[in-house]
Amino acid sequence: MKKALMWLLMLWKRLLLKKGFILLLVMIPLSALLINLSASSEHGFITIAVATDSSDELSGAVADELCNDKKAFRFLRCDTEEDAIRLVESLKADAAWVIEPRLAESITVAAPAGKLKIATVYQREENVLLRMAREKLYSAVYPDISYSLYRSYVTEELLPNQKISEEELKEYYSQYSDKESIIDIVYPDGSAYNEKSDYITSPLRGLFVIMLMLCGLASSAYFLSEEKRGVYSLVTSGKRTLIMAAGNLCALITAGMFVTLALVMSGLYTDFWRESLNMILLIITSTLFCTCLGRIIGSVNGLCLTVPIILVTAIVFCPVFVNLNTAKPIQILLPPYHYLNAVYDGSVLWNSVIYSLSATAVCIILGCIRKRNAR
Amino acid sequence: MISALNYLRTQFKRSLKYYPAVIAVTMALIVCAGLLLFGIIANNEGKESKLKVKVGMVGEIEESHMGVGISMLQEIDSSRYYVEFVPLDTKEAEKRLKNGELLGYINVPEGFVDSVIDGENLPLTYIAGSDPSALTPLLIEEVLSLVSDLVLECQNGVYAMYDAGQNYGLEYSELRNGMEELNIRYFDAMFSREEAFTVKNIGTGKELGFGDYYMAAFFILLPLLWGIVCLPLETKRDMSLYRMLRSRGLSPFAQCVGDYIPFLLIIAIGTLLMLLCGNAVTAHLNMSLGIFGSANMVSSFISLLPAVILVTAMQFLLYELTSDLISTLLLQLISTIGLSFISGIFYPAGALPSILRNIGAVTPVGVAFDSIAALFNGYPGTADAFICLGYAAVILLCAALVRSIRIRSVGK
């Protein structure tokens, strides 16, 4: 036991003396910090220039509401229609919305007659995102449209002969105004939806685990390089695979701590127990994956050439930027795939356990083959 | 004295010996990432349904109001362009969500419609899948928010109307008729909301479409990956050779040129192969994508070269900075991933925060990407080419400087 601990300590210490490894570890939380800081500034998947009539209070309020809602869309206020169109023509905005002048008046008169015009939209070409963005504008104006429909119906159809004051109408309407949303959003395991999710920070979890896997692959490469230099010449062939795995484990535990820190810094950290269990399984599966790969390839040069392929494969087939439902045999070989799928669905964790058992068997077989070849 | 030409010739021969390994790994990279990306882009190009997401509906949706409502949404509402509601049972919905076939599903509780009519509002539960992009879930969140607002405001108006009528002594039957009529007006307004906008399309101008954008990004990513593949060839593990060459009259700058040109040649040949493969595939699929399908391959290749030169110069400088194989690998990978992210390779540059966009635009990867994007747009500029070449020259000078410093430093 003491010997094993000594080995672990030495393997850990030698990793911490490698500048490249330290650089990679430091980059994980640093990139979380930088991306998080930049994500706090204005951004949006599409940019919309909004031009309003300065004398109209309602259109100003609508524009303010849109500009304060920082999620998928970014809104820029413009003073004039020409300024907004110029932004579209110069590719600085994807669309320009010129809100109708005297919008409040227009809603009051035209909405009940079904002839409402909210805005003139200038865009380069129609696409699904711009359609969805218009839903947002409609949603911002809808409370006034709704009130106008109600008011018009009550005064003109329901009680045409009664003189109802505006205050009375508003009093009836405001009684039911403070209702909560009728839709709750949750994840498959019942946990609350992360309302702070942002398309800029969302892929960070995937990128961090890929960097974690890179730490494991680097550790395998360091081991192979040391083995070639004869550092482990006093160790029997059979035990060298075990030492490689131990070295990878040390590297991945260290990387795992940095990734956890980065997740906390980027606001992606969810629940302590779920994250801890998921991370432990990721460390185990990545250790076994990197050890198997290192043993199969067998040389530093070969492993270094394979790493870019592994990384590209992981970025493409794991749900880092997109969730491709294809090439399942490749996906299930990659530890990040199981980890990322288990983040919000705990039932998938069993896949990591099965993976660990299978990869352990492969490592043992590779170790035995190596031992036999060495005799 | 060793001449620069002799050194260049020697480095060419050395690179050629290594080239079969580069080709093998390159083919693996192309098979892995390139064809898949090509297939995705080719399948989605030009289709408006590319963002149409599937959302499951679970629960009592066959009852008259809910079923009719969903049919109307799918047939006449503008949301039919971006979302498809699929009626399912709970087990099927969970299975499809796990497989990624659904973005999420809505659980409609028993008695939902009656609860809305009565004002009790049993909540709908949307079970969200873990889509990594977060963009489509964000958009669906916006849509769900709109649906909730429409229902609540409609409820607001109808109940307020009921209270007003009741206060003024109207009969129950009149109030019921009033509720139905007002509901119809609300539905009318909801389904005709697209008519509230006058849409004018002013033309795309100098903007790349989705497929062309990511094809241009691919043309930057591949040289970066190929450059990493040349790791065993380009890593300067031992400076003693270069010190010896320096002592024989070969300057660090001449050494760098002699090392860089074969490296560039490997990458350039790879780019040419990529163009030929892409052309063959697009010809087979009978389509045009970016510069693939272009009649003049030579002109396309020459237009791509300045960007390739810039990217390879950057990688060459990174190779000069480290001496250990693994550290070099890590430095190259971190630079590739980091610079690709901020230069708009993974996300369109316009979608990034302005600070990242501005930094990305001045990095070698960002400048090279802009140059290739202009080419894909049909507006290749000589200015872009000169900027790329000038930037590359500066980087190579820096590489020569680093080489010179390393040669002079003792014991390394």
Query: How far is A169 from A159, CA to CA, in rounded Å?
Result: 12
pLDDT digits (tens, 9 = 90+) for B374-402: 888 776 678 888 999 999 999 999 999 99
Q: What is the pLDDT of residue B41?
A: 58
- From the list B128, B186, B346, the residue facing A193 with the nearest CB is B128
- From the list A20, A41, A325, the residue facing B101 with the nearest CB is A325
Segment A136-159 shows an average pLDDT of 91
CA distance B95 to chain A (A): 11
Three-state SS sequence of chain B: CCCHHHHHHHHHHHHHHHHHHHHHHHHHHHHHHHHHHHHHHHHHCCCHHHHCEEEEEEECCCCHHHHHHHHHHHHCCHHHHCEEEEEECHHHHHHHHHCCCCCEEEEECCCHHHHHHHCCCCCEEEEECCCCCCHHHHHHHHHHHHHHHHHHHHHHHHHHHHHHHHHCCCCHHHHHHHHHHHHHHHHHHHHCHHHHEEEEECCCCCCCCHHHHHHHHHHHHHHHHHHHHCHHHHCCCCCHHHHHHHHCCCCHHHHHHHHHHHHHHHHHHHHHHHHHHHHHHHHHHCCCECCECCCCHHHHHHHHHHHHHHHHHHHHHHHHHCCCHHHHHHHHHHHHHHHHHHCCCCCCHHHCCHHHHHHHHHCHHHHHHHHHHHHHCCCCCHHHHHHHHHHHHHHHHHHHHHHHHHHHCCCC
CA distance A132 to chain B (A): 7
**pLDDT confidence bin for B48, thresholds 50/70/90:** very low
CB contact under 8 A, B32 and A309: yes
Chain A residues within an 8 Å CB radius of B353: 38-39, 41-43, 200
pLDDT at B192 over 90: no
CB contact under 8 A, A300 and B145: no
CB contact under 8 A, B143 and A200: no
Query: How far is A339 from A346, CA to CA, in rounded Å?
Result: 10
CB contact under 8 A, B149 and A47: no
**Could you tell me the pTM of the whole model?**
0.80
The count of residues in chain B is 412
Query: How far is A210 from A212, CA to CA, in rounded Å?
Result: 5
CB contact under 8 A, A154 and B161: yes
- Of A237-246, A330-339, B296-305, give the lowest mean pLDDT range: B296-305
pLDDT at A294 over 90: yes
CB contact under 8 A, A197 and B138: yes
Contact assessment for residue A90 and residue A77, using Cβ atoms and an 8 Å cutoff: no
Q: What is the pLDDT of residue B49?
A: 45
CB contact under 8 A, B331 and A20: yes
Q: Write the DSSP assignment of A256-268 as a string of letters.
A: HHHHHHHHHHTT-
CB contact under 8 A, A320 and B347: no
pLDDT digits (tens, 9 = 90+) for B205-252: 556 666 678 778 888 888 888 888 888 888 887 888 889 888 888 899
Query: How far is B167 from B160, CA to CA, in rounded Å?
Result: 11
Does any CB of chain B come closer than 8 Å to the CB of residue A28?
Answer: no
Segment A282-308 shows an average pLDDT of 91
Long-range contacts of A273-276 (CB under 8 A, 24+ apart): A274/A189, A274/A343, A274/A346
pLDDT at B355 over 60: yes
Residue of A42, A73, A181, A325 to mutate for B, most B C-beta atoms under 10 A: A181
Query: How far is B365 from B343, CA to CA, in rounded Å?
Result: 6
**Cβ under 8 Å to B: A residues 54-93:** 71-72, 85, 88-89, 91
More confident residue, A121 or A195: A121
- Give just the sign of the alpha carbon dihedral A336, A339, A343, A347: positive
- According to DSSP, residue A116 is labeled -
First to last CA, chain A: 27
CB contact under 8 A, A321 and B132: yes
Q: Which phi and psi (to 5°) does residue A344 adopt?
A: -115, 10
Q: How many CB atoms lie within 10 A of CB B25?
A: 19
Q: What's the one-letter identity of residue A325?
A: N
> Could you give the angle at the alpha carbon of A88 between the alpha carbons of A85 and A91, nearest 5°?
150
Q: What is the pLDDT of residue B46?
A: 47
Q: Is A350 helix (H, G, I), strand (E, B) or coil?
A: helix
**Cβ under 8 Å to B: A residues 150-209:** 150, 153-154, 157-159, 162, 164, 168-169, 172-173, 175-177, 179, 181-188, 193, 197-203, 205-207
pLDDT at B10 over 90: no
Q: What's the one-letter identity of residue A231?
A: V
Radius of gyration of chain A (CA): 30
Chain B residues within an 8 Å CB radius of A94: 350
Helix axes A128-153, A166-174, angle to 10 degrees: 120
Q: Which residue do the tokens 């059979």 mark?
A: A238
Chain A residues within an 8 Å CB radius of B77: none
Instruction: Give me chain A's average pLDDT, please.
Output: 87
Which two three-digit tokens encode residue A256? 């795992």
Which two three-digit tokens encode residue B203? 């033309």
Q: Is A51 helix (H, G, I), strand (E, B) or coil?
A: strand
Q: What is the pLDDT of residue B131?
A: 63
Residue of B148, B329, B346 to mutate for A, most A C-beta atoms under 10 A: B329
pLDDT digits (tens, 9 = 90+) for A150-201: 999 999 988 888 888 989 999 999 887 777 788 888 888 777 776 666 777 7
- From the list B116, B161, B204, the residue facing A158 with the nearest CB is B161
CB contact under 8 A, B333 and A311: yes
- For the beta sheet containing A46-51, the strands, ordered from the edge strand earlier in sequence to the opposite edge, are A73-78, A46-51, A95-99, A119-123, B197-201
pLDDT at B76 over 60: yes
Q: Residue-wise over B138-165: b if at least 16 C-beta within 10 A, else e?
A: bbbbbbbbbbbbbbbbbbbbbbbbbbbb
pLDDT digits (tens, 9 = 90+) for A311-338: 888 888 888 877 766 677 888 899 999 9
